A and B are shown apart, each in its own frame.
Chain A
Amino acid sequence: MNIKRSIVLRVRIAFLVVFLIAGAIFYKVVHLQFVEGEKWAAKAESLNFQYRQVSATRGNIYAADGSLLATSLPFYRVVLDPVVAKENIFHSGIDSLSYLLSSYYKDRSAASYKKLISDARTRGKRYVILNRKQIGYQDMQKMSKWPVFRNGRMGGGVIFEKVEKRYRPFNSLASRTVGFVNEDRYGAGIEYSFNDYLEGRNGQALFQRIAGGSWKPVFDAEDVKPDDGYDVLTTLDVNIQDVAESALLKQLINKDAEFGTVIVMEVETGHIKALANLQKNKSGRGYGENYNFAIGDQGLTEPGSTFKLLSMLALLEEGQVSLNDVVDTGNGVFQFYDRKMTDAKTGGYGKITVKEVFEKSSNIGISKLVSQSFGHSPSKFVSYIEKVGLNKPMDFQLKGEGAPYFKNPGDRDWYGTTLPWMSIGYESKLTPIHTLMLYNAVANNGKMVKPMIVQAVAKGNHVKKSYQTEVIRKKIASEKSIKLLQELLEGVVKNGTAKNVHNEQYRIAGKTGTAQKLEDGRYTKKYYTSFVGYFPADNPKYSAIVVIDSPKGFNAYGGDISAPVFKDIADKIHAQDLKLNKRTPTDIYMAQKDVDFPYIQAGKFDELQLICNKLGLSNHSDGISDGYVKSRALDKSIQWQANQVESPVVPDVSGMPLRDALYVLENKGLRVIYQGKGRVKNQSIVPGSPIQQNHVINLILG
């Protein structure tokens, strides 16, 4: 068969060709191994490649309102591989590039930059650090438009090496709570506790070591793209945090105390709105956020009188005590076995009711009552601590929570005196956040919620994990007992040890605590003062605890030291929170003579009217119904005057917020440049001048 023979012959020819190719491949392998072998082995030695980490961008930490508490800002180091650029690109761009570099860095002349780059190019140097200064993102963007640079890494040889820096827009605000992570991935606060989410996953890229120990990426893109970290949304309120920190700091300085802690929490949700910790700096001057005493191990102490709330809870739940029973607290000194217990008032309180025992914080009264009810079965008392869930760590969102410590009957260190002393907050240890959790439960009508500081972990719009309020105990005590406890806590402020924070505007409920500090096994004359409570007492919105450690001076009681800080914070929150503040502020503003009219100066009529009506400010419009207005204070009310921004002349924007001013002016075709913050104070073109398109108008805000 002729056709078949021909085909078979042709296939054999083709096979021969492939066979020759295979032979060539084999020859080349042999050649590479035996002829060029040493050359490539040497090359392998000299080339030093390594997969190196490409850092992922760390996630942000936000306050509840979206304010940034911590973010990572990219900075760049500008490096050039001068060999990459093609001849024409290099020659046409080098002069202007050198000039731009020189005028940007201002450290060497344009000629010097040109020499640096050109020399490196001639010598075949592949990695020239143009300047060690790190530049910001905006500048990097600008630079990447420069000649040569604009051809990119592959065309122009420019390398912007990213370095990330952690930046806190509010500086030291809540700095310990926000926390940190060091290079060993150890740290504190949210940065540390949520590091797994925040850090993201680093990418990898192949780098080559070059002279001078630097590493140069081999390819343009990473082999493994870094996966940026998640953002953490906290429950913190920047305003409340600010208020809490400054109130605490003021008192710490005032009393020259060792450290202080404030926690402000939303009653219903357990959201922590502020968490401040200030400690005297080692240098002895000023205070800084060095340790989270509110939560951490070092914050564990004998809570003192604030723990009497739990004793009262146990007594009331046992049902053997009513608030009007009379207790004989004697002359202020009472002997339990070999230990003397004393009351704050020299000479004692004598015979007082149970309610007064709590309000005056009588140690003898409480411990006598507890001994009567639980002396025969102390374990029953301890069971109440378990019942409210205070005996174990709550597993707080931040790492390093101090574990509560309580003795148990039958323990080797359980003595006859343990129960009476335990009932007044000694011989056991709690952190401030545990104490606050108990008080918050009373404020929340018996429902104990777990304090939380992080609401959600998210990236962009994608919520990775959201944290809901956790209920630890649905009811820590009967409805009746809770009501009585609330009454007692209000009584402390109305009649008792915290009378000084009583005020007419809203009611505070709470309890003072003053614990003697145990140092080296002996009680000293140093005190751990606290106030924990909630407000407004009739419908609790926030609970808070204030702790001030080792205040100096005469009155070292919780009522005198910590309670005023609590009131300071509560006052400010109350004033800021419109929902809490039912009274209209009209009378306050109007009571002042010579009104420096608050901020509302100019803007859109409907918006301003809405604000004024909400605030109860009397305002009149004289027939204006929309558009822009300016305000004029007339007697005790505001007169709106139309602001003719529609007319074809430069409008008067003074007094307007920037947003309105920008809208009005840019609609007229003007270009706006502004400085400062706040409302428009000055405009560079006089109102009423004719408009020239694209003219620049300068605004000064203030």
Chain B
Amino acid sequence: MIVSLKAWIDRNLKGDPMIWGIVIMLSIISILVVYSATGSLAYKYTGGNTEKYLLDHSMMVFAGLFVMWAAHKIPYKWFGLIGRLLLMASIPLLVITFIFGSTVNEANRWLTIPFINKAFQPSDIAKLALIATLASLLAKRQKNIDELKKSFLPMILVIGFICMLIGLANMSTALLLLFTCLLLMFIGRVPMKYIFMFILFGGLFISASVLLGQRGSTFYGRIDRFISGSEVPFQAEQSFIAISTGGITGKGPGKSEQRNTLPHPYSDFIYAIIIEEYGLVGGATVLFLYLALLYRGMRIVASSTKPFGGLLSAGLSFALVLQAMVNMGVAVGLGPITGLPLPLLSMGGTSLIFTGFSLGIILSVSRGDHADEIENIGEGNKPRRAFQAA
């Protein structure tokens, strides 16, 4: 039984086994915590049918894992092209969503897919596509990365345009994406002087899209309130109570009290609920899992044979983990409230699919056997061999 399971895993789950392990652990935590955190939601909306959210969320988690599995089957060299196509598709989608999309909290972020009736955020697609595209642009220009016109300007135009479109409805996502791109450009050896120019440029268009967009006042309000620190916002206050009453080992699974008063306990503030229920230990474990995920993503950079694979893996890993850090940072009060979900953990419906997709891409790069130059096997394959031998 165990032998056959191991054989099945060997045959089907290729790529870095550590990443598989981390993702599966986070998925299990996610189902547990979301089930607990949606208690009041289920009570309110479905007349006490708490299983509805459990089933819906579990379905999405498994769908995300399936997409991850499917994506890791695709040779990563295709993701440059796929990314570019998705990026082009995402432009009209973002515009349509901004104009016609459904409104949650006064901003149009969601677009409902006809027939299957699932809402998704086109910004999720755009984020993924932009990182893949940027990785490809950077990889192709490694030889002449210092040139302003040939290398830097095309990239900055693409990034600026997409971030602005996203920023119209969702400033936090746009800012985070911008920062991730910045980091990726730094990793991709773009000279620092350009990056500082980039920051200047970015500052300009953020201001522009905040002024033009729907959420300008909310955005500035949040920043203003956070910096002035005069009054702790309601959500933060509730989150702090959750964290501080959690203690070292927590109140126990399903025993959260703050989930009843904390808004969005299953997404924006899920980290506070994790600490409340599983304590400092649980909170540290989750932090560690994200760092480990990033570490494995970084190892792939070292082991990958071509700059594109490394940059792709680095970009996606950092995008995911940075968002996780921002979400957790908000929950503990290190930053203003953003409304970004915790990737892999939050109940986010279709977001989980896109998270799964980016993890699949990372895994695809980590497989090594997908690289077109087989002869140049780096040190990164060692853990895989060890795993196979075990």
Interface residues of A (CB under 8 A from B): 3-4, 6-8, 10-12, 14-15, 18-19, 21-22, 24-26, 28-30, 32-33, 36-37, 39-41, 43-44, 47, 49, 51, 204, 206, 218, 223-224
Contact of B334 among A11, A12, A25, A39 (CB under 8 A): A25
Q: Does B245 lie at the interface of the complex (its beta carbon under 8 Å from any beta carbon of A)?
A: yes
Chain B contacts for A39, CB-based, 8 A: 244
Contact of A18 among B248, B283, B302, B318 (CB under 8 A): B318
Chain B contacts for A47, CB-based, 8 A: 237, 241
* Contact call B142/A22, Cβ cutoff below 8 A: no
Contact of A224 among B44, B186, B334 (CB under 8 A): B44
* Contact call A26/B322, Cβ cutoff below 8 A: no
Q: How far is the CA of A25 from the CA of B291 in the complex (A)?
A: 12
Contact of B187 among A11, A25, A49 (CB under 8 A): A11
Q: Does B189 lie at the interface of the complex (its beta carbon under 8 Å from any beta carbon of A)?
A: yes
A338 to chain B, nearest CB (A): 62
* Contact call B329/A33, Cβ cutoff below 8 A: no
Q: How far is the CA of A10 from the CA of B234 in the complex (A)?
A: 39
Q: Does B332 lie at the interface of the complex (its beta carbon under 8 Å from any beta carbon of A)?
A: yes
Chain A contacts for B183, CB-based, 8 A: 14
Q: Does B24 lie at the interface of the complex (its beta carbon under 8 Å from any beta carbon of A)?
A: no
* Contact call A32/B244, Cβ cutoff below 8 A: yes
User: Given A11-B298, A36-B244, A41-B244, are A25 and B332 also a contact pair (CB < 8 Å)?
Assistant: yes
Q: Does B8 lie at the interface of the complex (its beta carbon under 8 Å from any beta carbon of A)?
A: no
* Contact call A29/B325, Cβ cutoff below 8 A: no
* Contact call A37/B310, Cβ cutoff below 8 A: no
Q: Does B328 lie at the interface of the complex (its beta carbon under 8 Å from any beta carbon of A)?
A: yes
* Contact call B245/A40, Cβ cutoff below 8 A: yes
Nearest CB in chain B to that of A224: its residue: B44
Chain B contacts for A44, CB-based, 8 A: 241, 245
Q: How far is the CA of A3 from the CA of B261 in the complex (A)?
A: 52
Q: How far is the CA of A7 from the CA of B186 in the complex (A)?
A: 9
Q: Tell me the residues in window 150-187 of chain B with beta carbons closer than 8 Å to chain A beta carbons.
A: 183, 186-187
Q: Does B87 lie at the interface of the complex (its beta carbon under 8 Å from any beta carbon of A)?
A: no
Contact of B283 among A7, A29, A40 (CB under 8 A): A29
Chain B contacts for A224, CB-based, 8 A: 44-45
* Contact call A8/B302, Cβ cutoff below 8 A: yes
Residue of B241, B291, B302, B314 ringed by the most chain A CB atoms within 10 A: B241
Q: How far is the CA of A49 from the CA of B241 in the complex (A)?
A: 13
The 5 A-B residue pairs with the shortest CB-CB distance in the complex, in nearest-first order:
A40-B244, A28-B332, A49-B261, A44-B241, A10-B187
* Contact call B325/A21, Cβ cutoff below 8 A: yes
Given contacts A11-B298, A24-B334, 14 further A-B contacts (CB under 8 A): A7-B301, A14-B186, A18-B322, A19-B291, A21-B325, A22-B290, A28-B334, A29-B275, A29-B280, A32-B240, A33-B246, A40-B240, A43-B237, A43-B240
User: Given A28-B334, A29-B332, are A3 and B243 also a contact pair (CB < 8 Å)?
Assistant: no
Residue of A10, A19, A51 ringed by the most chain B CB atoms within 10 A: A10
B88 to chain A, nearest CB (A): 27
Q: How far is the CA of A378 from the CA of B322 in the complex (A)?
A: 90
User: Given A7-B188, A33-B247, A36-B240, are A15 and B311 also a contact pair (CB < 8 Å)?
Assistant: no
User: Given A3-B307, A21-B329, are A49 and B260 also a contact pair (CB < 8 Å)?
Assistant: yes
* Contact call B187/A14, Cβ cutoff below 8 A: yes
Chain A contacts for B294, CB-based, 8 A: 15, 18
Chain A contacts for B234, CB-based, 8 A: 218
Q: How far is the CA of A18 from the CA of B328 in the complex (A)?
A: 12
Q: Does B40 lie at the interface of the complex (its beta carbon under 8 Å from any beta carbon of A)?
A: yes
* Contact call A7/B244, Cβ cutoff below 8 A: no
Q: How far is the CA of A32 from the CA of B232 in the complex (A)?
A: 14
Nearest CB in chain A to that of B378: its residue: A4
Q: Tell me the residues in window 297-320 of chain B with beta carbons closer than 8 Å to chain A beta carbons.
A: 298, 301-302, 307, 310-311, 314, 318
Chain A contacts for B44, CB-based, 8 A: 51, 204, 223-224
* Contact call A22/B287, Cβ cutoff below 8 A: yes
Q: Does B295 lie at the interface of the complex (its beta carbon under 8 Å from any beta carbon of A)?
A: yes
Chain B contacts for A43, CB-based, 8 A: 237, 240-241
* Contact call B243/A7, Cβ cutoff below 8 A: no
* Contact call A10/B244, Cβ cutoff below 8 A: no
Chain A contacts for B189, CB-based, 8 A: 3, 6-7, 10
Q: Does B348 lie at the interface of the complex (its beta carbon under 8 Å from any beta carbon of A)?
A: no
A606 to chain B, nearest CB (A): 49
* Contact call A4/B310, Cβ cutoff below 8 A: yes
Chain B contacts for A14, CB-based, 8 A: 183, 186-187, 314, 318
Q: Does B89 lie at the interface of the complex (its beta carbon under 8 Å from any beta carbon of A)?
A: no
A265 to chain B, nearest CB (A): 39
B189 to chain A, nearest CB (A): 6
Q: Does B284 lie at the interface of the complex (its beta carbon under 8 Å from any beta carbon of A)?
A: yes
B222 to chain A, nearest CB (A): 14
Chain B contacts for A4, CB-based, 8 A: 307, 310
Q: How far is the CA of A622 from the CA of B52 in the complex (A)?
A: 78
Q: Does B333 lie at the interface of the complex (its beta carbon under 8 Å from any beta carbon of A)?
A: yes
Chain A contacts for B333, CB-based, 8 A: 28, 32
* Contact call B334/A22, Cβ cutoff below 8 A: no
Chain A contacts for B287, CB-based, 8 A: 22, 25-26
* Contact call B334/A10, Cβ cutoff below 8 A: no
User: Given A15-B294, A32-B240, A218-B234, are A7 and B261 also a contact pair (CB < 8 Å)?
Assistant: no
Chain B contacts for A29, CB-based, 8 A: 243, 275, 280, 283-284, 332
Q: How far is the CA of A223 from the CA of B40 in the complex (A)?
A: 11
A562 to chain B, nearest CB (A): 49
Chain A contacts for B283, CB-based, 8 A: 26, 29
Q: How far is the CA of A394 from the CA of B71 in the complex (A)?
A: 64
Q: How far is the CA of A26 from the CA of B188 in the complex (A)?
A: 30
Contact of B284 among A24, A26, A28, A37 (CB under 8 A): A26
* Contact call A3/B142, Cβ cutoff below 8 A: yes
Binary flags per residue of B31-45, CB closer than 8 Å to A gives 1, else 0: 000000000100011
Q: How far is the CA of A376 from the CA of B295 in the complex (A)?
A: 100
Q: How far is the CA of A30 from the CA of B302 in the complex (A)?
A: 34
* Contact call B314/A11, Cβ cutoff below 8 A: yes
Q: How far is the CA of A51 from the CA of B40 in the complex (A)?
A: 10
B289 to chain A, nearest CB (A): 11
Q: How far is the CA of A15 from the CA of B298 in the complex (A)?
A: 8
Chain B contacts for A49, CB-based, 8 A: 260-261
Q: How far is the CA of A24 from the CA of B333 in the complex (A)?
A: 11
Q: Does B321 lie at the interface of the complex (its beta carbon under 8 Å from any beta carbon of A)?
A: yes
Chain A contacts for B245, CB-based, 8 A: 37, 40-41, 44
Contact of A24 among B243, B310, B329 (CB under 8 A): B329
Residue of A6, A32, A49 ringed by the most chain B CB atoms within 10 A: A32
Binary flags per residue of B233-269, CB closer than 8 Å to A gives 1, else 0: 0100100110111111000000000001100000000
Chain A contacts for B186, CB-based, 8 A: 10, 14
* Contact call B244/A206, Cβ cutoff below 8 A: no
B41 to chain A, nearest CB (A): 9
Nearest CB in chain B to that of A48: its residue: B261
* Contact call B244/A18, Cβ cutoff below 8 A: no
Residue of A25, A32, A44, A47 ringed by the most chain B CB atoms within 10 A: A25
* Contact call A25/B329, Cβ cutoff below 8 A: yes
Binary flags per residue of B103-135, CB closer than 8 Å to A gives 1, else 0: 000000000000000000000000000000000
Q: How far is the CA of A25 from the CA of B321 in the complex (A)?
A: 13
Q: How far is the CA of A51 from the CA of B260 in the complex (A)?
A: 8
A200 to chain B, nearest CB (A): 14
A225 to chain B, nearest CB (A): 10
A208 to chain B, nearest CB (A): 9
Nearest CB in chain B to that of A38: its residue: B244
Chain B contacts for A22, CB-based, 8 A: 287, 290-291, 325
What are 8 A-to-B residue pairs whose CB atoms are below 8 Å? A14-B318, A18-B318, A25-B287, A25-B329, A28-B332, A33-B243, A40-B245, A49-B261
Q: How far is the CA of A483 from the CA of B283 in the complex (A)?
A: 87
Nearest CB in chain A to that of B143: its residue: A3
Contact of B310 among A7, A51, A218 (CB under 8 A): A7
Chain B contacts for A3, CB-based, 8 A: 142, 189, 307
Binary flags per residue of B19-53, CB closer than 8 Å to A gives 1, else 0: 00000000000000000000010001100000000
A211 to chain B, nearest CB (A): 18
